[in-house]
Structure 1
Amino acid sequence: MTTLPFAGVRAVLFDLDGTLIDSAPDLGAAVDGMRVRRGLPSLALDRYRSRAGSGARGMLQVAFGVSPDHGDYPALKEEFFEAYDGCLTQRTQAFAGVDELLGALVARGLPWGVVTNKSQRFAIPITRSMEVFSSAAVMICGDTTPHTKPHPEPLFEAARQLGVAPQHCIYIGDDERDILAGKAAGMPTVAARYGYLGHGADVGTWRADAEISSPTELLKLLELA
């Protein structure tokens, strides 16, 4: 029997980085190149992976130990954006099982979409370069609305564009802000344990309605497997 929070689901919404795609290799390569150009030693991808969900903030913290309140941060951030622009589709790929998951949703007539804090500048080229996103019914980026997650407005906008009430959407993400946003929007939430999770994350404290260790486990929750 389907767990109550997932009864009546009419649309499925996903975070992007760390949930549908593994973008850490390109994010890490962009900022690591900045280190190398400064004569600093290259860092292993594993050093960057856990902070990949934080975008520029996370990458610059790992590479240079700077946070947004540092005087050099704005210039480093723009340099990082330029570097990432040049490599954002070179190594990024969908997580294993995502093709199967999204294909199953489409086959069952369940519309799906993306709600990400990644700006359109990066999210649109990446998703357009990957065939798996051709069936997406909605794409909400970090600059689509005046707010970013954990504010619920991006999720509300996705629901509006789909024509589905928020309580009939489900949201899946790999960061606590995804779960906070989903709950604030009145959507059942699922934590993607296979994703980046965030530095020092304790997923059990997020209070998501469910947790999955692979993309296809979502099909079992929705009784589609």
Structure 2
Amino acid sequence: MVRAVLFDLDGTLIDSAPDLGAAADKMRLERGLPSLPCERYRPMAGAGARGMLGVAFGMTPEHPDFNAFREEFFTNYENCLTQRTQAFEGITDMLASLQLRGLRWGIVTNKAARFTDALVRNMKLLGDAVVVISGDTTQYAKPHPEPIFEATRRLKLEPFQCVYVGDDKRDIDAGRAAGMCSLAATWGYMGSHDVTTWGADAPLKAPDCLLDWLDGRL
């Protein structure tokens, strides 16, 4: 019954942690603070600016300077967003296999369109997505199901004809709320989270496990 596969972006299709971390680390260096290794930033990469500023400065959205710091971070990230970012191992082959099977695939991310669109333009792999929904495409962001509904509308498919793959509980919540099978990508930025508590239809240890799931072998 599956006609299309929808994916989260950061932590699922691409490893953007090095560029996200570099954007925040530049802010530290410019303030005379020592650099932090990428591995300090990686577990929070899925949380975007909030996560990166939390690691770099211990700053929360309630901090009076958060908005100014966030805009500075966004500018830094915009200037480097494809310097170190690459697809996770196995993603290119998995997407090629989906296309050989006649399955379309798309992206539903909470990343703002100003960044998503630039990544899609500059990363050849992402240019094959038949639909791209960003965090500000609709009125809501995940875990609300509306971004996923918007993707299915553009694909002219019913939700049950699609499957959603993501590396965060909000991805699973959004997919389930939209009425589609939702799979947990455990190769992403899950950190120490226990995926068994998310309610996913299945965990995927590696990208090619999606093909096993589609074939009923998982």
TM-fit CA distance, 1:212: 0.7
For residue 200 of structure 1, report the CA deviation from its aligned partner.
4.3
**Stretches (4+) displaced over 3 A:** none
Instruction: Give the structure 2 partner of residue 221 of structure 1.
Output: 213
**With structure 2 as the length reference, what TM-score do the two structures score?**
0.97
The code of the aligned residue for 1:186 comes to G
Task: Tell me the distance in 2 between the aligned counterparts of 1:25 and 1:134.
Answer: 21
Residue 207 of structure 1 is matched in structure 2 by 199
Matched, 1:40 2:33: yes
- In the alignment, the residues of structure 2 paired with residue 133 and residue 57 of structure 1 have an alpha-carbon distance, to the nearest angstrom, of 25
- For 1:219 and 1:191, locate their aligned partners in 2 and report how far apart those are by CA, in whole Å: 14
Unaligned runs of 5+ in 1: 1-7
Question: Once the two structures are superposed, what CA deviation does each residue of 1:156-194 show, in whole Å capped at 9, x if it has no partner?
Answer: 000000011001110000000000000000010000000
Deviation of 1:10 after TM superposition, in Å, equals: 1.1
Aligned to 2:6: 13
- Displacement of 1:134 after TM fit? 2.4
Deviations along 1:1-29, whole A, 9 cap, x unmatched?
Answer: xxxxxxx1111000000000000000000
1:132 Cα deviation from its structure 2 partner: 1.1
Quote the RMSD (CA, aligned, Å). Answer: 1.2
Paired residue secondary structure (2:118): helix
1:102 counterpart = 2:95: yes
Quote the residue 2:113 is aligned against: 120
Gaps of 5+ in 2: none
SS at match of 1:186: coil
Give the corresponding residue for 2:168. Answer: 175
1:104, 1:224 within 8 Å by CA — same for their partners in 2? no
User: How do residues 66-215 of structure 1 correspond to structure 2 at under 5 angstroms?
Assistant: 66-197=59-190, 200-215=192-207
C-alpha separation in 1, matches of 2:181 and 2:45: 25
Contact 2:166/2:185, CA 8 A, preserved across alignment: yes
In the alignment, residue 219 of structure 1 is paired with which amino acid?
L
Paired AA for residue 21 in structure 1: I
Equivalences, count: 217
TM-score computed with the length of structure 1 as normaliser: 0.94
Q: Percent identity of the aligned residues? A: 59
Output the CA distance in 1 between the equivalents of 2:97 and 2:128: 11
